[in-house]
Structure 1
Amino acid sequence: MALSVTGCTTSKRDTLTTGSIPQRISAAPLDGMNASELAEAERSIGAAYVKNPSNKDIGLRYANVLGMTGKNTQALAVMQQVAIAHPADRDVLSAYGKAQAGAGQLEQALTTINRAQTPDHPDWRLYSAEGAVLDQLGRSQEARAKYRQALNTRPNEPTVMSNLGMSYVLSGDLKTAESYMKNASQQPGADSRVRQNLALVVGLQGRFAEAEGIARRELSQQQADANVTYLRSMLSQQNSWRKLADSDKGTTAVN
């Protein structure tokens, strides 16, 4: 199970509008887009990137949408170009580290994220990103220390609490994971990714009906269906989809 790096860039970056990016696309948060909307965003922002590959905001946005559509190698290539144009920019370095992690270059990602961090003015997002990479490297204790550093800087930040919960999922401690996930989902800034992680950890414990309810919460029918499809995919990767569906009493088995 892969742990996503949710903390290298802020959600504000998703809503940033510049004159070079089509306003209708840039004004919409990527996290709320369905597959067809993401494809359109990728096309439009990609066209803007081709015209101006050194533009920081376009490059960050394009790499983000590429990562969300599974094109991690291309996202890394984009961020390499942006990093060449902006070698000392903190936002660029953090996004570059995220792209490296997404492409499986974990040790390189740690180096890049550490370059972006400044001890005299630490960024909670970078602590969280570093923790996520450390978790993927199997260094869970170090990872959790980084998440707690992030929370010391940004108390009750839902993305960090969710990452901390996922750290316990990776080590098999689902009860502790659920505790962090529930707390994260109740914070004012919690988004659908945080609730999706909570749904996953609930489903992994065999409470599939509850998990599906969480996955559908506060979403349109189309978004809810997409979330449930993703949830089923994740659970099936654990060889548990059938077992969970069957063991969840009162729930009809899904074909």
Structure 2
Amino acid sequence: MANRHHSSRRRMQTLGGIGLVIAALTLSGCAGREKPLITGSIPKLSKPVDSMTGPELSRASETIGKAYEANPKDRNTGLSYANVLMMSGRNAQALAVMQQVAIAHANDREVLASLGKAQAAAGQLEKALGTIARAQTPDRPDWKLYSAEGAVLDQLGRSGDARGRYRMALDIKPGEPSVLSNLGMSYVLSGDLKTAETYLNQASQQPTADSRVRQNLALVVGLQGRFQEAEQIASRELDPQQAAANLQYLRGMLAQQDSWKQLAADGKPKKSG
């Protein structure tokens, strides 16, 4: 029992060193492909937030931040601003924004979902589960909330429960690439790279699959030693800047290969003596 507890703790310490993938998994879980927020008070963005480069995200956060400062209770401005902040890695600030928006819109399901997403990104995992549960309604369940809940459960080490939520999401939204991607990453976290690749391949073949899905597939292929194939997947983008960002992401994650090997070893069942 002590050895099992030590192994679990070591696995979570390893996860702490590879937070970029966990953050990506959480973000794609709740948002999928974000719907554009339409309101007269939000400055129009040149492209979807999830395809922006670092400088573009910085400019977007500054522009939308001014609109938020002018009216911090505006629902759509707050949601848009928090999303840009999270994509920029400014998770504590995104959480503060969503807390303010939630005060003004306490019963809004989309606001609660975004608050849960921000709480998870800021490391408040148990709070995130409670918030997502409040946003979900059993008579009209939302697949995005099931997927977001699964992402949080994966971060808590509850992979079986997490995969159950992903499959509930897929029952509602079959073939949804963000959910298939999260399911694949769940198997990465337990060291089953072959199963992970199967789900991530399915995800990447969907017409609505975005860059993050291909990044995760490239990572899993690279972790199995197929580096040239991984780079080809990571660079499969129309936008050269985004392709460069994908390759940077892949090389950065593969540079932590020792951590990933330890994670996989911890996740494999031990042979009995």
Question: Same fold per TM (> 0.5)?
Answer: yes
Amino acid at match of 2:210: D
| Residue 209 (structure 1) aligned with residue 231 (structure 2) | no
Determine the structure 1 residue equivalent to 2:41.
Answer: 20
CA distance in 1, matches of 2:197, 2:184: 7
What is the CA distance between 1:226 and its match in structure 2? 1.1
1:7 aligns with 2:29: yes
Q: Which of residues 93, 96, 114 in structure 1 aligns to 2:112?
A: 93
1:50 partnered with 2:72: no
Partner SS state of residue 18, structure 1: coil
Aligned to 1:252: none
Which amino acid is 2:37 matched to? Answer: L
What are the residue-to-residue correspondences of 1:169-248 with 2, within 5 Å?
169-239=188-258
CA distance in 1, matches of 2:239, 2:259: 27
Q: Measure how far apart 1:10 and its partner are.
A: 4.9
Q: Provide the alpha-carbon RMSD of the alignment.
A: 1.4
Distance in 1 between the 2:231 and 2:93 partners?
Answer: 33
Q: Secondary structure at the match of 1:88?
A: coil
5+ residue gaps, structure 1:
242-255
**Corresponding position: 1:145 with 2:164:** yes
- Identity, % of aligned positions: 67
| Contiguous gaps of at least 5 residues in structure 2 | 1-17, 261-273
Quick one: distance in 1 between partners of 2:149 and 2:55? 32
Where 1:109 maps in the other structure, the secondary structure is helix
The question of whether the paired residues in 2 share the 8 Å contact of 1:8 and 1:129 is answered with: yes
Letter in 2 for 1:22: P
Closer, same or farther: CA 155–68 of 1 in aligned 2, 3 Å: same
Task: List per-residue Cα deviations over 1:1-35 (Å, max 9, x = no partner).
Answer: 3422123235343x223211112x2x521011111
CA offsets per residue over residues 83-116 of structure 1, 9 Å max, x none?
0010000000000000000000000000000000
Deviations 1:160-215 (A, max 9, x none): 00000000000000000000000000011111111111001001111111111000
The two structures have a TM-score, normalised by structure 1, of: 0.90
User: 1:237 offset after TM fit, Å?
Assistant: 2.2
What's the offset of the Cα at 1:240? 7.6
- Number of residue-to-residue matches in the alignment: 238
Q: Which is bigger in relative contact order (C-alpha 8 A, separation at least 6)?
A: 2
Q: Which runs of 4+ in 1 moved over 3 A?
A: none
Alignment check: 8 A CA contact 1:204 1:240 kept: no
Retained in 2: the 8 A contact 1:67–1:102? yes
Distance 1:66 1:171 in 2: 30
> Does structure 2 conserve the Cα–Cα contact (< 8 Å) formed by 1:9 and 1:91?
no
Between the aligned partners of 1:10 and 1:200, the Cα distance in structure 2 is 19
Match for residue 29 of structure 1?
48
Q: Give TM-score, length-normalised by structure 2.
A: 0.84
**2: CA distance between counterparts of 1:62 and 1:237?**
31
Whole-Å Cα distance in 2 between the matches of residues 7 and 70 of structure 1? Answer: 16
Query: Is the Cα contact below 8 Å between 1:216 and 1:227 reproduced in 2?
Result: yes
